Amino acid sequence: MYREKLKFIDLFCGIGGFRVAFEQACAENDIYPECVFSSDIDKYAQDIYEENFGERPSGDITKIDENDIPEHDILFAGFPCQPFSIIGQMKGLNDTRGTLFFDIARILKEKKPKAFILENVKQLVGHDNGNTLKVIVRSLQDLGYHVQYSVLNALDFGLPQKRERVVIVGHKEPILFTFPSPEKPYKPLTEILEDNVGSKYYASDYIRNKRMEKHTSSYYPSIWHENKSGNICSYPYSCALRSGASHNYLLVNGERRLTPREMFRLQGFPDWYKIVVSDAQAKKQAGNAVPVNMVKAVCLKLLPYVASSIDQTLVLRGYDLKFNAS
């Protein structure tokens, strides 16, 4: 039987964390998703996205006409945070012109999808005393969306990584949407870490001895974190992966760096996901990715509303809900 697909676009898609999360949420609820457009300016992100999803993302979003983007039900974007030039003037989209958020806004204005989910660093909440986020929210409201945001932590959604991100959700209709609550304990590191890791991942004897002199961990296995001041701490989970962090920013048991597969697992990517880039690029990509489990939890909360645009019977969170295309 033919079933209409739920269409989405994936902006600033990176390695496809939003896509993996949304497709997993849809699969659990017998919904057929279809990505009708993706975009990322980074060549290596395009390479790995194409390898895993069979399509190469378009490039620079600032050079793509919003009229050329297909119609869709929901928009996803993990957009970079940039300072806005006219903060606080409340001039609608003009306040965001020249930033990459403006490109999200102009697409929303033209295509009017039912909903969107955006993700950014936690620091966005306090940027410029909160004015940057205020401009973003007001701009989205001016486009006719009901907007909410919350800071969520990947650690609260099954991933052994303390990674806090602000998630912004918008929907056209005044539905009762609430952000997901913490769901379950995070995975133990034993389910993340690989066996028989190659010698190239081990820190030098000098660095390892220096770490051991400064710190003794209460956990095994553990991931050791050294901050900019040289202070060392360790936990049975990882501190946030960072694309630009120093080579030995995080060390497993104070001895070795994380492998690409371990970093991707910490972000919730399944093992079927192919890593076809260098270790350096994998580190950058994992550090820039969205936590799949966390985004999936948000998608599941929003899915009943977004899926109401297609005609099929769905089973969502144990409830039989009938949605008819309006």
Q: Which residues are catalytic?
A: 81
Write the CA distances from 239 to 145, 153, 287, 305, integer angstroms: 34, 11, 11, 34
Residue 15 contacts residue 78 (beta carbons within 8 Å): no
Using alpha carbons, select from 280, 286, 221 the residue that is nearest to residue 254.
221
CA nearest 289: which of 105, 44, 97, 69? 44
> Torsion angle of alpha carbons 28, 30, 36, 37, nearest 10°?
-10
Contact 123/164 with Cβ under 8 angstroms? no
As a whole number of angstroms, the distance between CA 241 and CA 289 comes to 9
- CA dist 108 and 323 (Å) reads 24
Q: How many CB atoms lie within 10 A of CB 293?
A: 24
Q: Which residues of 108-131 are buried (b: 16+ CB within 10 A; e: fewer)?
A: beebebbbbbbbbbeebeebeeee
Q: Which of 71, 59, 78, 74 lies closest to 23, judged by CA?
A: 74
